[in-house]
Chain A
Amino acid sequence: MESPLSRLLIVDDSEINRDMLARRLTRRGYEISMAESAHGLLERVRKENIDLILLDIEMPEITGLDALKALRQYYTPIQLPIIMVTARNQSEDVIVALELGANDYLTKPIDFPIALARIKTQLSHKRAENALRESEERYALAARGANDGLWDWNLVADIIYFSPRWKATLGYQDHEIGSSPEEWFGRIHESDRDLVKRRIADHQNGAVPHFESEIRMLHKDGTYRWMLSRGVMVRDENGKPLRMAGSQTDITEGKVADPLTGLPNRLFFIERLLRLIEQRKRRTDALFAVLFLDLDGFKMINDSLGHIVGDKLLISVSKRLLDCLRSHDLVARADEPFTVARLGGDEFAILLDHLNTPDDAKAVADRLMQELNRPFELDEKEIFTSVSIGIALSSSGYLYPEEFLRDADTAMYRAKSTGKARSEIFDADMRATITSRLQLETDLRHALHRKEFRNVYQPIVLLSTGQVAGFEALLRWQHPERGLLGPA
C-alpha cells in the first residue's frame, strides 16, 4: 500500500539527527532529501516535489515555526504535510506549531516506529487528496467555469477553505471571510440550514453518492441568493471522513427569486402555474389551488416602525409560511407539492397541488392564518399581523395563469372587505360583482370624452314667500345603455 515514490524532506541543523533518520527512512523505501536550514526551502519544495516535511523547531536564524508559517502561505496541511520535530521541553512551541498548521509532531530522541506510523498516516491523507483530484472530473467539482466558487472542508481540523470566487459570489473580498464552517452555515437561509445538514449526513452515511443541495445564501447586500452547492467526501483507508470538497454556483437567475425573502417571484410562480394548467388539460380531475395572501395592516407597520422592520417581517412571514406548509399533513410529501412566491409588496401567493377537495385548500388557508396570527418577534418587539387569503380553484377551468391569480386576488379583496383575517374561496358571484364594477369604471372614464354628463338644476323655493331663491346643480350621467343615472 505504501507509495514507492513518497519523497520526504528532513530539515534539521544537526547533521547526526538528519543522517540517522534519513538512513532508517531510506531503508523503509522512502526517498529522502535533506536540508540543514530553512535557506531556499520554498524553492526546493517546489522543485523536488516533496510529499512531506520533517521540520526541526529549533534552528538558528529562521526557526522551524517561522519556516512553517511561510510554508503554510503556499501549501495547505493536506497538500504538504509537515511534522514538527521538537525537544521534550518544547510543549509550548508544539501548541503554536499545531495552531500554525503543522500536521503532527515528534519529540527527540525520535522513537522510530512512532515516527514511521505518523509519517504513514499523513501520507495516506495526502493520497486521499490525490484520489479526490482524480475524481474531481467525475463530480465536476473544480473548473466548472469561472462562476463556480470552490470549497474544501477539512473535517479533521473542522476548517473550510473558501476560494476567492466562492466569497465573491456572496459579495465579499477574500480577506472578509475566514475559514470557519460557520462562515458557510451562518449565511444559509434559516429554512434551508437543516436541509443542508441532512443532505450532508445522507452523503456521509453513504445514502447518496455525492452531496447536492439548492440553498439560499445571504449576500453581503442583505439579500438572499439561490446557490447550487455540491461536493463529495474523501475518506481514509478505514472509511473515516477526512474532507469534503465541492463547488457552489449562483443559480438565482434560473430560480427567479425574490431577493428579499429568497422566495420565487411572480415570474417563477406564473410559470409553475402555467405548467399545472397545461397538465390539467390532460388530466381534468386534477385539483389545485392558488392562495392569494395579503398582510393586513402592513403599510401601517412599515410607516410606523420603518421599512427595515417591515422587511424583516416579510422575511419572517415567508419563513413561517414555508415551515407551516412543510409540516402540514396535507402536503407532506417527498417533493414539495406547493410553491410559495412573493408577488411584491406584502403580497404572497401559494400554489397547492394534489388536492382532493376544495376543503383541503380552505384547511391549509385556515392553518396559515392561524400561524400568522401568532406574534412575530422582531428587534425585541412583538409585532402582530394577520393575513387575508383569497382562494381560486383549478376546477373553474382557467386557461391562463393571470386569470387564476386575478380571481384569487378578487377573493382576497372580498375576505379583506368583510372583516380581514379571513379566507374566501372565489365564486362566480364575485366575478359578476367585480365585472360590473369594472365595467362601470371603464364606462365612467369614457363618459367624459363622450360628453355623457349633463347638469340638471333643482330650484330651491322659499316656503315663506314662495319665491325661487336659487338652484341646486346636480350631475347626471346619460348612459348609452342604462339610461339616465344618478349617484345612487
Chain B
Amino acid sequence: MTKILLIEDNEMNRDMLSRRLEKKGYRVVTANDGSQGHSMAVMESPELILMDIGLPDMDGWEVTKLLKANASTRNIPIIALTAHALITDRAKAFEVGCDDYDTKPVEFGRLREKIETLLAKKK
C-alpha cells in the first residue's frame, strides 16, 4: 500500500483530504506543523509527501529544503499545496525542490493524477 505523508495544519482540510486519499487506497499519515512534518518524513519514509506551504513554526518551503538536502529523504516526491495561485509561488516551489505543485482548494481528480504521475516516475 502506498504511503503518503500529508503535512497540513488545518484540521478540516487534513481530515478531508486524508479521508479521500484513503478511500482511493492510499495509506495516509499526517503531520500538523512543519517540524513534525519533517520528523515524520524521516521516520515514516513515505512514498510521497503532500506539503501545505503555510504552516506554523517552520513553513513548507523550509521543510522541503531540509528534506531535499538530505540523502535519505531526497528521493521522496513532494507536491506543494498553496492557497493562492500566484506565479511566484509556483516558481518558488520548483526552486526549493518540490516535484510538483497544486493550489487549494484541491481539485481531487487533478491532484490524484499528479500523485500517480510522480509515483510512476519514481519507479
Contacts and interface: CB of A to CB of B under 8 A. Distances in A.
A40 B72 CA distance: 9
A40 B29 CA distance: 13
Interface stretch (B42-50, B81-89, B90-98, B102-110): B42-50
A66 B66 CA distance: 15
B17 interface: no
Nearest to B44: A42
A175 B32 CA distance: 13
A62 B11 contact: no
Main SS at interface, chain B: helix
A198 interface: no
A40 B36 contact: no
B42 A38 contact: yes
A70 interface: yes
B115 interface: no
Contacts of A70: 31, 36, 39-40, 43-44
B39 A67 contact: yes
B3 to A, nearest CB: 8
A472 interface: no
B11 A38 contact: no
A205 to B, nearest CB: 43
B38 A62 contact: yes
A66 B44 contact: no
Interface in A233-262: none
A37 B42 CA distance: 9
A69 interface: yes
Contacts of B39: 38, 62, 66-67, 69-70
Which of B35, B36, B38, B42: most chain A CB closer than 10 A? B42
Contacts of B72: 37, 39
Contacts of A62: 38-39, 42-43
Which of B29, B39, B40, B44: most chain A CB closer than 10 A? B39
A42 B43 contact: yes
A477 to B, nearest CB: 72
A175 B43 contact: no
Contacts of A41: 43
A475 to B, nearest CB: 72
Given A70-B40, A175-B11, A39 B45 contact: yes
A96 B72 CA distance: 27
Interface string A394-434: 00000000000000000000000000000000000000000
A37 B43 CA distance: 9
Contacts of A38: 39, 42-43
B2 interface: no
Contacts of B36: 66, 69-70, 73
B11 A39 contact: no
A134 interface: no
A73 B40 CA distance: 10
Interface string A22-42: 000000000000000111111
Contact of A40 (B35, B38, B43, B70): B43
Contacts of A69: 36, 39
Interface string A164-198: 00000000000100000000000000000000000
Interface string B106-118: 0000000000000
A285 interface: no
A42 B43 CA distance: 6
A42 B27 CA distance: 14
Interface in B25-76: 29, 31, 35-36, 38-40, 42-45, 70, 72
The 3 closest A-B pairs by CB, nearest first: A66-B39, A41-B43, A40-B45
Interface of A: 37-43, 61-62, 66-67, 69-71, 73, 175
15 contacts: A37-B42, A37-B72, A38-B43, A39-B45, A40-B42, A41-B43, A42-B40, A62-B39, A66-B36, A66-B38, A66-B39, A67-B43, A69-B39, A70-B39, A70-B40
